[in-house]
Chain A
């Protein structure tokens, strides 16, 4: 089923938004004119040096970029193999990589004259980033969040509200990220005339997967430069966790055409791949949801099944379409980490490096713990530390307390 290998892994999508058979624009007619407008506005902005310049200024002074590339010395020693670097996206303003994309989309919304911003959020990091930039630019902000996630990511709910956003708990379905996205789409269909939908990952109808990837690619571009400065060469491998896949795509994309770079995406295996999980590549198949064709978790009748992950940000039954294509072409290897493995990595990293990671990148660290020991000491491995764990401290604290009793 492997398609013919392309000349470049970086040329997609085609003009209809397809990465191989994946992607596309599977949306209601009400949204179609706006999506075409958005595509045009984005193409114009991308070609406008003033847009790029303004964005660079905000990235530097507001977000705090470039984020450091940090040699994780004690983790490297502990694992006894590859030399491990962290791309410290958790140090960005608002605490994760999400802000890179939100900044780009909010600037685009301003360009398009949209005054009302909506977003979906799982872990709340995308919601916080959106609420933050809406505060910064004086825009109305409404965030849809599954009721289950509202409960398990309380610190972020409080932050969003402090920033002036309205958080709407979503009660449908499993009350997690997928359901939040459904309700955000319903809001958008209803308020399409004045509303900009700021999607938080590399999913949704074209041009979102491409646009979010472009905004996040700063991660990989900086990594390339920074590693060149300290090591004088390319990395040997890259590792990132995958919810929809935006932090992963941001790190991977600038390296896709460097065949010596091994690339690993880590999905959430929840309770394990034979039980409830959120690993759509490992346990799903191609289908159509939320505007694009991609790997999805579903039953025989094409009904979407509920995902499970300890991490609200990975608890989604799909994945961005470009990842589906990178999987089928074999360019990227998709692995998965269970809730337990992520919890263990969360604790290890806190104690060894003095960095409390978010539960999402803890999944990436969990696989680093497997991959690094099998590689030689001169192997350079870069992990995307996509977010910090402050939001998870109450949840993980409760879980660990329950165990120590």
Chain B
């Protein structure tokens, strides 16, 4: 099984560079603006897009992404509408990998089999579900693999060598290394420590390793992209979006460009990195 994710990493390897991975919350601040942002991201240089599935109780997210999810929910976003958004995006872009990221309950309530079928036909390539560790693989990970979707696992600083094989066992697409013990939007990652962690993970897997949490600037993205196969930026983009809203939290004429401009600058940072040692 080759997904758009596999194809994209193969292509980037040929180009000799790392991936710029963006995270945005589906439906933030409203479904139409959110779709426009999604469409603008590949043009701004995003190689892979993570789409947040809004949830009321995001226990691994900091204030920025919590607020983004609540804005989206207030704007009427649902999992069904998030899948519609993916379908609309796919009408003009059949290459950019889309990864849905969030928490399990909305998927569980939607129905696992129905969700996987609908996600696959909509054009989703992978899933990152924060509250499904390997211990709960039978819930969604194994069915997702069978349905042809990548299940991308998070590895963290607390995932030691003994545990890594279990974390990597049913992972596909890429490995997402969470560079800090903490929630999104917290402390910045130290590039050297990250480099060591990435090297450690690479001793256990052939999969690309992307790094996220705590990357906010083009310089930081570049430093991370020198050791990892991808740098993920979320909170900084969500903050740029929030900064463009009006006093009532509605989108303005500047909202899409605020996100796209920052994405373009971050993409330049990633492209300026020396190729990760393979």
A residues apposed to B, CB below 8 Å: 16, 24-34, 172-173, 178, 182, 185-186, 189-193, 287-291, 293, 296, 298, 300-304
Known: A25-B135, A186-B62. 11 other contacts (CB 8 A): A24-B135, A26-B133, A29-B156, A30-B158, A30-B182, A172-B63, A178-B57, A189-B181, A288-B108, A301-B106, A302-B108
B181 touches A190 (CB 8 A): yes
Among A25, A178, A192, A304, point to the contact of B105 (Cβ < 8 A): A304
A33 touches B131 (CB 8 A): no
A192 touches B55 (CB 8 A): no
CB of B278 within 8 Å of the partner chain: no
Minimum CB–CB distance from A168 to chain B (whole Å) comes to: 14
Among B57, B178, B186, point to the contact of A173 (Cβ < 8 A): B57
Interface residue count on the B side (C-beta < 8 Å) = 45
A193 touches B109 (CB 8 A): no
Determine the residue in chain A with the shortest Cβ distance to B67: A172
Interface string of B50-67 (1 = CB under 8 A from A): 000011111111110010
Chain B CB within 10 Å — which of A32, A185, A191 has the most? Answer: A32
B163 touches A33 (CB 8 A): yes
Among B153, B160, B178, point to the contact of A30 (Cβ < 8 A): B178
Chain B CB within 10 Å — which of A24, A296, A302 has the most? Answer: A302
Whole-angstrom CA separation of A169 from B73 in the bound complex? 24
Taking CB atoms and an 8 Å cut-off, the chain B residues in 226-264 that contact chain A are: none
B158 touches A33 (CB 8 A): yes
User: Are A34 and B104 also in contact (CB < 8 A) when A173-B56, A189-B60 are?
Assistant: no
B131 touches A26 (CB 8 A): yes
Whole-angstrom CA separation of A146 from B60 in the bound complex? 18
Among B104, B109, B155, B183, point to the contact of A301 (Cβ < 8 A): B109
Determine the residue in chain B with the shortest Cβ distance to A187: B183
Whole-angstrom CA separation of A212 from B224 in the bound complex? 42
A25 touches B79 (CB 8 A): no
In the complex, chain A residues whose CB is within 8 Å of the CB of B155? 29
Determine the residue in chain A with the shortest Cβ distance to B135: A25
Minimum CB–CB distance from A86 to chain B (whole Å) comes to: 36
Whole-angstrom CA separation of A25 from B137 in the bound complex? 11
B105 touches A302 (CB 8 A): yes
Interface string of B96-118 (1 = CB under 8 A from A): 00000001111111100000000
A287 touches B181 (CB 8 A): no
CB of B94 within 8 Å of the partner chain: no
B residues apposed to A, CB below 8 Å: 54-63, 66, 73, 78-80, 103-110, 130-136, 153-160, 163, 167, 178, 181-183, 186
Minimum CB–CB distance from B130 to chain A (whole Å) comes to: 5
- Top 4 A-B pairs, shortest CB-CB distance: A302-B109, A302-B106, A190-B182, A301-B78
Determine the residue in chain B with the shortest Cβ distance to A301: B78
Determine the residue in chain B with the shortest Cβ distance to A190: B182
Minimum CB–CB distance from A194 to chain B (whole Å) comes to: 11
B136 touches A25 (CB 8 A): yes
A288 touches B57 (CB 8 A): no
Q: Is the interface of B mostly helix, strand, loop or mixed?
A: loop
Minimum CB–CB distance from B122 to chain A (whole Å) comes to: 17
A-B contact pairs, 19 of them (CB 8 A): A26-B132, A29-B153, A33-B158, A33-B159, A178-B57, A182-B59, A185-B59, A186-B60, A189-B182, A191-B181, A193-B181, A287-B105, A287-B108, A290-B59, A298-B109, A301-B106, A302-B79, A302-B106, A304-B56
Whole-angstrom CA separation of A288 from B57 in the bound complex? 11
In the complex, chain A residues whose CB is within 8 Å of the CB of B107? 302
Chain A CB within 10 Å — which of B55, B56, B60, B167 has the most? Answer: B56
B181 touches A16 (CB 8 A): no
Among B56, B61, B66, B182, point to the contact of A303 (Cβ < 8 A): B56
Determine the residue in chain A with the shortest Cβ distance to B62: A186
Minimum CB–CB distance from B49 to chain A (whole Å) comes to: 22
In the complex, chain A residues whose CB is within 8 Å of the CB of B57? 173, 178, 182, 289-290, 304
Determine the residue in chain B with the shortest Cβ distance to A32: B133
B183 touches A189 (CB 8 A): yes
Minimum CB–CB distance from A377 to chain B (whole Å) comes to: 48
Whole-angstrom CA separation of A198 from B200 in the bound complex? 33
Whole-angstrom CA separation of A223 from B90 in the bound complex? 64
B59 touches A32 (CB 8 A): no
Whole-angstrom CA separation of A9 from B135 in the bound complex? 24
Whole-angstrom CA separation of A291 from B132 in the bound complex? 9
In the complex, chain A residues whose CB is within 8 Å of the CB of B55? 302-303
In the complex, chain B residues whose CB is within 8 Å of the CB of A16? 135
B181 touches A30 (CB 8 A): yes
Among B103, B109, B153, B160, point to the contact of A33 (Cβ < 8 A): B160
Among B106, B178, B183, point to the contact of A186 (Cβ < 8 A): B183
Whole-angstrom CA separation of A26 from B57 in the bound complex? 13
A302 touches B110 (CB 8 A): yes
Among A26, A31, A192, point to the contact of B104 (Cβ < 8 A): A26
